[in-house]
Structure 1
């Protein structure tokens, strides 16, 4: 079935990218989640916590904890917005900008290496497929394995007693 093939391929991609170990460092002392936040803030300095949470598809409390860790490490700075002091603007510090640039260079090398392994004649097809998949996920709304309220979706057991979302 196509659904099984897609699920297997996506699980292989997730494993290959190291996403399953969310607390594993993507670089010394920075978790994968912190790398995502830092990358987003470096790409759009001056973003708010709410905007960042929306962009990452996470709840504000999760993003807030991640931002706090980056502030404590001296990689991000929070500044109140002039028009509403209760809302803060997130900015990379000079150290954060440096690490963000390193992360971007690492990402470009990784993705370049991956694309080099795809036959040149099929690269456009692969990139178009990834764009379509990303659009489908975005159109779905809620995170696939969570309900609309961000709560874990009900789970069931397969015939072998394995939990399946």
Structure 2
């Protein structure tokens, strides 16, 4: 009986970082989505580049990217302890805040230029997060590559929008 309880507790301790990372990622996605307005009159009035994906593509792309971000965090946190774990959790939290903040800068402020600034901060933080994660879990760091690449694409798109719509 005691051995079963010990196994259950070990499984729960292993699952907790995944659950926490999933909840934090979902909260960031939800917070960011509250500001998103691709159907708004303001956004539709912008001069957009021909290479911009259709609006339906963004949730299709972001869903697996958020899933990989949550998996990466849970996986890496399971491989750290103490101060390293706390610092890594804070790094993921900062990244999620920057991620959610971008939509508020771009759509909330109706400012492509502010979106560029937010994108650049997120890009820099993505590199920092990948490096920090790689120290503890190379597989989790590799899982962040598509997310970082899409964010770089978003920076290029934001920059194009800011140039076209001063």
TM-score where L is the length of structure 1: 0.32
Bigger share in strand: 1
Bigger share in helix: 2
